[in-house]
Structure 1
Amino acid sequence: MADDTRPNVLFVLTDQERYDCTASDGPPVETETMDRLSSEGMRFDHAVTPISICTSARASLMTGRYPHGHGMLNNSHEADAIQPNLPADLETFSELLADVGYELSYTGKWHVGRDQTPEDFGFSYLGGSDVHHDDIDDAFREYRRERGVPVGDVDLEDELYTGDDPRDGSEGTFVAATTPVDVEETRAWFLAERTIDAIEAHAAGDQTDPFFHRADFYGPHHPYVVPEPYASMYDPDEIDPPASYAETYAGKPQVHENYLYYRGADGLEWDHWADATAKYWGFVTLIDDQFERVLDALEAHGLDEETAVVHASDHGDFVGNHRQFNKGPLMYDDTYRIPLQVRWPGVTEPGSVCTAPVHLHDLAATFLEIGDVPVPDAFDARSLVPLLEGGGAVPEAWPDSTFSEYHGDEFGLYTQRMVRTDRYKYVYNGPDIDELYDLERDPAELTNLIDHPEYGDVRAEIRERLVDWMAETDDPNQGWVPAVLERASRADD
């Protein structure tokens, strides 16, 4: 038993995992381990990312700030990165935990800074990066070489691409495929193995100080490349189009339809998307099975009762919903709503569900409170500990809406802000028409109600929320957006 009574933390972050894969009313994706986490802990039903792009969301998670507060507004690895690295003067939850004695380790995807690694922020990095996003470690590539199947030296099957001919790999973006390698040769297996190594190292030590381990899986981000049995686990012929596949883009910002063509997704028909969806679901199940190995290791070493386990994703993925690929300047729940489950023995009530609206970067404040560290005033984050301790009951003072933003990626800069309540979603689009959705009547977000006369009061109230939030978080756009919204409200009267 550790001398320090503070709990260990195991944080598993997936990459581009849709919220509905683990939702109670979601598609038939086998996620036994994530479901187990929900049944033994708490599932959050209204969790959102502050921004649907990797670097920006991950920087928010580290700093507890919205993107406009930390400056990482688009992906750090791209040539047009507005800011390639996280400013060194910003406090991060990991450095603060390291300062008070937590032993921090990290496996997998980083993607927060072009020239930085987890070791610059208090972690011991155990490997598993890929070339495209980070290339900060060769451990996985060496592992594959030792097994006789070097990375990139395999012949894939059932390949799918964007573009005019989805089966032609000479152009377009790689979407999905089946790989002939064994499960033990996947990056997901390797990252789980390195995480188990970290657990075993802690169990073998004196356990004087608690550990915080972060396992960042590369998936189910595209390309959805999975081995058997996962590649054929779900039958594309049994997957029906989602309601949002009926999207026409009528009454929507022009950028929505532009993005369809920019991504090359206009050449994908439903049979292609069904195939991609089946691979995506298989990817989710592959990761879920590796997560099971990690939880089994915690239990085998007697650490499960003193470890808080958290699972979330940086953001979601369209996977054909709204006929779109990947993510972009479209603030639908497909990419902004995220899975979030927490199992904290002795604190969370098993099987509890919390409906309070929360943000991904609230975890930064949560981790600090778990570690008995004061949350910096500069954080735009609210600790979830009161919700975890209260069985999911929502305190009276808890906010009833979430806020998100977007600044563009390789498609170009595009200013957006979003307010989401339990029933309504409002999206401010700087250069185009705004959006308003009644999520109760239109959960697929097909009908833009921004000009509907019956929703005038809703528009005015939710725009007022946005203005207040911009002032509270010192959003640089508060200098001119409120005046624009005020004129729009006057025009409604």
Structure 2
Amino acid sequence: MSKRKNIILILSDQQRYDTVSAYGLNDVCKTPHIDALAAEGMKFTNAFTSSAICAPARASVMTGLYPHNHGVIDNFTDIKEGTPLLGQCMKDQGYFCGFAGKWHVSPSKTPEDCGFDGKPFMGYGFPGSQVFPSLKFNQPPDNAPNYYEEYLKENGFDIPDVSHGFLGNNPALQIQEMYAKHEGPVESTIEYFVAHETNRLIDKANTEDKPFFIWANFWGPHSPSIVPEPYYSMYNPKDIKEHPSYKETFENKPYGHYLSEKMWGLGDYGWDGFADIAAKYYGHCTMIDDMVGMIVEKLKALGLYEDTIIIYSADHGDCLGAHKLIEKGAFTYDEIYRIPMVVKGLGTQDNDSFVYLQELMPTFLELAGTHPPKPVDGESILPLMTGESSTNGRTEIYGEYHNHFYVSRQRMVRDNKYQFTFNENERGELYDFTKDPYQLNNVCYDEDYADIKKEYIEKMSHYMKATHDPAGVWFHRIKEFY
């Protein structure tokens, strides 16, 4: 066997596809280091997460499965016992496995339990909670010590504070800032800590006579976007154009969409309010991009860059004002399901095949010279990465949501022409991308689309049966009336 390459997976949290400037969809937000990886390698233009919620999506990377099969259907449940785990499989193949940053894969399994060398941030695990004195967001790690706080102390930083915290005006939701200014040097930020920890693991791996697999996880640009200068003021909100779907009226949409908009308390600020949030979010994306550059510099300094495959992606996206919404939830819009996926070190041809985030698991195992020990939901996309194949033949994507702010099982099937969404307790959704690319006009109950709707209901039925989706029990009993 030829020498196996090192692998680094860099996963951001809640980063919208169009904020990676290599995709050419955003003339404001800049990500030059990720762009350089894309220019040297390739990118997928139709990469999707199977669930736009943090823990379910991350557990899918770990297992190669849809959430309904691995068991992590929300941010608080565990991976099913006996499920093969990516880290352990890679370790069994002789890789040094390291994990840096946000965990949020399983509330009880630590990185070590899953085969990784790494510092755990258990539970929701936001490292700035109960560290930054003025931060309202209070979701600290369940375990001690807080390794970010330890990093600050060990490197001689005063505990930084935050200022200019912005929350919506819903009096019942004054607990999570959309953004805040980090009043300290860049080196004292959470994102720098993640890059520093990644580089520590690279140094450690470099002392061992084996290839390495390192999974680096940034907490951003997920809110609260806590960024220092120059990133805090890097982008002018006035330069951020109103999203075409901001004219959303919620007419003929599930009532939960309207309630989600009201919950965040941002509606009274208009587009200017969303643009202000987006400017800080963009700054966060550019800061993370600079941390990617820091990791690349480390690899080059050690002479490891040419022998290392780097994948940059995200667990899911963010509405960021699209449809008057923020973050993610019980909606299936492209802004939260489509994700960036950039690959350096294999092929150089961009690919427009539909691929899933969870397919990284069998892909990494193929790079390691093996296969998943049990069947997974998907397949290795290595032939698409190398350019050996131009297509995987897939014509649609299947997505799911179970529970975040409220319970509302939801399934989505989407191709390049239409998207059908089954909302278990609410009206369905059908969007015609050929006429309505921003998913504003729900034609699910339009008689002109009756045949199309029936076709996509059958597509969904196929996925439910093929993947043993428990949502199919109810769906198949009422699909003729839906």
Is TM (by shorter chain) over 0.5? Answer: yes
Aligned to 1:405: 400
The one of 371, 374, 389 aligned to 1:374:
371
TM-score, normalised by the number of residues in structure 1 = 0.90
Query: Superposed, which structure 2 residues align to 1:31-430 within 5 Å?
Result: 31-76=31-76, 83=77, 85-126=78-119, 130-131=126-127, 132=139, 134-136=141-143, 137-146=145-154, 149=157, 151=159, 154-157=161-164, 159-164=165-170, 171=174, 173-203=176-206, 205-207=207-209, 209-344=210-345, 347-349=346-348, 352-390=349-387, 393-395=390-392, 398-409=393-404, 411-430=405-424
Aligned to 1:491: none
Superimposed CA distance per residue, residues 3-43 of structure 1 (whole angstroms, 9 cap, x where no aligned partner): 97111100100010001112222342110111111111111
Gaps of 5+ in 2: 128-138
The one of 472, 477, 480 aligned to 2:466:
472
Question: Does structure 2 retain, via aligned residues, the 8 Å contact 1:163–1:173?
Answer: no
Question: Does structure 1 retain, via aligned residues, the 8 Å contact 2:84–2:372?
Answer: no
Does the alignment pair 1:481 with 2:481?
A: no
- Compared CA separation, residues 130 and 210, structure 1 to 2 (3 A): same
SS of residue paired to 1:11: strand
Aligned length: 465
Question: Does structure 2 retain, via aligned residues, the 8 Å contact 1:111–1:134?
Answer: no
Question: Does structure 2 retain, via aligned residues, the 8 Å contact 1:50–1:57?
Answer: yes
> Aligned letter for 2:126?
D
Query: What percentage of residue pairs aligned between the two structures are identical?
Result: 35
- Compared CA separation, residues 377 and 148, structure 1 to 2 (3 A): closer
Gaps of 5+ in 1: 77-82, 489-493
- Compared CA separation, residues 422 and 392, structure 1 to 2 (3 A): farther
* Counterparts of 1:479 and 1:88, CA distance in 2: 24
Question: Does structure 2 retain, via aligned residues, the 8 Å contact 1:105–1:123?
Answer: yes
> Aligned letter for 1:465?
K
- Compared CA separation, residues 458 and 255, structure 1 to 2 (3 A): same
* Counterparts of 1:275 and 1:392, CA distance in 2: 43
Superimposed CA distance per residue, residues 220-257 of structure 1 (whole angstroms, 9 cap, x where no aligned partner): 00011111110111001222211111111011111110
Q: CA deviation at 1:121?
A: 0.3
Question: Does structure 1 retain, via aligned residues, the 8 Å contact 2:103–2:120?
Answer: no
> Aligned letter for 2:251?
A
SS of residue paired to 2:377: coil
> Aligned letter for 2:312?
H
Question: Does structure 2 retain, via aligned residues, the 8 Å contact 1:109–1:133?
Answer: no
Superimposed CA distance per residue, residues 169-190 of structure 1 (whole angstroms, 9 cap, x where no aligned partner): 9935311122221111111111
Question: Does structure 2 retain, via aligned residues, the 8 Å contact 1:355–1:392?
Answer: no
Question: Does structure 2 retain, via aligned residues, the 8 Å contact 1:9–1:309?
Answer: yes
* Counterparts of 1:183 and 1:58, CA distance in 2: 27
* Counterparts of 1:230 and 1:448, CA distance in 2: 38
Superimposed CA distance per residue, residues 83-118 of structure 1 (whole angstroms, 9 cap, x where no aligned partner): 3x2223111121111111111011100012222211
- Compared CA separation, residues 147 and 201, structure 1 to 2 (3 A): closer
- Compared CA separation, residues 273 and 436, structure 1 to 2 (3 A): same
Question: Does structure 2 retain, via aligned residues, the 8 Å contact 1:467–1:478?
Answer: yes
* Counterparts of 1:111 and 1:282, CA distance in 2: 24
Superimposed CA distance per residue, residues 306-345 of structure 1 (whole angstroms, 9 cap, x where no aligned partner): 111111100111222211122110110111111111112x
